[in-house]
């Protein structure tokens, strides 16, 4: 289970100007993260614009990342949705031989009850051949998977090994950390709260900004896991502004502006998202230039 400790990153899907997938940029991004301290890679999450990626594109993206990574880091694949039967079908029809875990979001839009959420993940657990990381992100799903439901799933299913908690609610994190089974991992999905969660006993983070500044961000999380709070917070304070910038308009427009400033990818996103404004891009460029 130590493979999901530290800094995981929710990779973007870089696009060419015609909005086709830029596989060369994707290879460069994978290498950049592998070489600069990232601990594992998350494919096709929200930050990867998964909702506007076709099935064929998703297969090709997975193939590029698997080939480029070449077994260097653990890989997590996003497979989730609000149609339980479709999620099960995708799990069954996807080659997961090179994938270490599936990241599966709590059902969005449908607003199921807590029992509905439990039954959704129970059905997925029963068919999934690899570990499952639950993903709670109420700001996007319009429903909150309560700690009681997460912990019930953690206790009932061996292959449900972690939760990416992204409710931006420190009280909810602490409730999970207090009551979780010993080997169940609480992973922060909030870049701004990640260090506090780690210092309270969390396993790490699945980060957005971490992929743009992997050296600094992964070092901060590593120091947190070692209990070196002061050194870790020194880095946290240096990165606070950029974390605010990348979420100021929409994700992943902000992190794509970071990659554009680094010369690693274009800032193109697919509708209904739009690129970051020039004003925000200038702030991001200035921050990167001054970070050293």
Cα–Cα nearest to 99, from 73, 70, 80, 77: 77
Q: Tell me which residue of 133, 178, 182, 173 sits closest to 155, measured CA to CA.
A: 182
Distance of CA 126 to the CA centre of its chain: 23
Tokens coding 214: 């992997």
Could you give the dihedral angle defined by the CA atoms of residues 248, 250, 254 and 257, in that order, rounded to the nearest 10 degrees? Answer: -130
Catalytic residue among 5, 40, 118, 164: 164
Let me know: does 163 contact 134? Beta carbons within 8 Å: yes
32 belongs to the catalytic site: no
Q: How far apart are CA 83 and CA 17, in angstroms?
A: 32
> Which of 32, 118, 135, 173 does the annotation list as catalytic?
135
d(CA 62, CA 43): 7
Match 């990626």 to its residue by tokens.
Answer: 53
Decide if 55 is catalytic: no
3-class secondary-structure state, position 27: helix
Residues with a known catalytic role = 135, 164
């Amino acid at each position: 289970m130590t493979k999901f400790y530290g800094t995981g990153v929710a990779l973007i899907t870089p696009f060419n100007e015609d909005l086709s997938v830029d596989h060369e940029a994707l290879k460069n991004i994978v290498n950049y993260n592998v070489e600069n301290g990232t601990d594992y890679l998350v494919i096709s999450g929200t930050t990867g614009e998964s909702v506007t990626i076709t099935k064929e594109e998703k297969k090709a993206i997975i193939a590029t990342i698997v080939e480029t990574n070449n077994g260097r880091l653990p890989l997590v694949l996003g497979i989730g949705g609000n149609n339980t039967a479709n999620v099960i079908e995708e799990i069954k029809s996807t080659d997961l031989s090179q994938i270490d875990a599936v990241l599966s979001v709590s059902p969005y839009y449908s607003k199921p009850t807590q029992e509905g959420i439990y039954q959704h993940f129970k059905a997925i657990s029963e068919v999934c051949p690899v570990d499952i990381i639950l993903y709670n992100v109420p700001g996007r799903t319009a429903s909150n998977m309560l700690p009681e439901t997460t912990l019930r799933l953690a206790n009932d299913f061996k292959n449900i090994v972690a939760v990416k908690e992204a409710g931006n609610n420190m009280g909810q994190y602490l409730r999970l950390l207090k009551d979780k089974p010993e080997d169940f991992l609480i992973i922060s999905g909030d870049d701004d709260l990640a260090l506090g969660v780690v210092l309270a006993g969390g396993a790490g983070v699945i980060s957005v900004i971490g992929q743009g500044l992997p050296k600094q961000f992964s070092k901060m999380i590593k120091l947190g896991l070692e209990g070196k709070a002061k050194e870790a917070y020194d880095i946290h304070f240096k990165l606070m502004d950029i974390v605010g910038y990348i979420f100021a308009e929409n994700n992943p427009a902000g992190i794509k502006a970071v990659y554009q400033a680094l010369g690693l990818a274009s800032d193109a996103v697919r509708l209904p998202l739009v690129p970051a404004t020039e004003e925000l891009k200038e702030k991001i460029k200035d921050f990167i230039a001054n970070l050293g």
